[in-house]
Amino acid sequence: MVSIHFSLEEVTHTDTGLDNEIPEPLKQNATRLAETILEPLRVILGPMRINSWFRSPGVNKAVGGVESSYHRLALSADVVPNGDVFKAFKMALTLLAELPIDQIIFEHHNSSWIHIGAAKDGEAPRRQALIGEPNPVTGKMTYRAYRA
């Protein structure tokens, strides 16, 4: 377990079938994300499914992630709460000032999920709230600030 409710299996879960073992030094990042953000989030949203958390270079490439992705460091997770994901996103935003959230993104592409991440070691959380959806013309995911 990396925290009370989140397991190492959830950290390394991938649907790609590729090797996704997390290097030992990155486990503390997974624990920090779980303890400081995911556990408090779970209190208000209930149990959630983790689509993607840590990504090995191969997994990150396979899912089209950028090399600078915080998933590479186990500092971000894509979570799917029960019920309406956008509603859950808005509920999560009520904790934005309180929790050390670096980025929280409502992503909508075929299905919906919430990308949520912690800051890198020694960096201040940016507390950015974004919406990510494919550009209707190019299909490329684009991100814009979310204004409540």
State which of residues 59, 115, 118, 119 lies at the interface with Zn ion (CB under 5 A): 115
Residue of 92, 102, 98 lying closest to 69 (CA atoms)? 102
73/138 Cα distance (integer angstroms): 29
Do 12 and 21 contact (CB within 8 A), yes or no? Answer: yes
Q: How far is the CB of 68 from Zn ion (least distance, A)?
A: 12
Q: Is 78 in the site for Zn ion (CB under 5 A)?
A: yes
Q: How far is the CB of 50 from Zn ion (least distance, A)?
A: 11
Q: Is 72 in the site for Zn ion (CB under 5 A)?
A: no
Q: Pick the stretch among 8-16, 18-26, 71-79, 119-127 that binds Zn ion (CB under 5 A).
A: 71-79
Single-letter amino acid code for the residue at 106: F
Q: Pick the stretch among 11-19, 22-30, 38-46, 72-80 that binds Zn ion (CB under 5 A).
A: 72-80
Closer to Zn ion by Cβ: residue 72 or 115 = 115
The sign of the dihedral angle between the CA atoms of 33, 35, 40, 41 is positive
Does residue 107 sit in helix, strand or coil? strand
Summarize as ranges the residues that interact with Zn ion (CB under 5 A).
78, 115
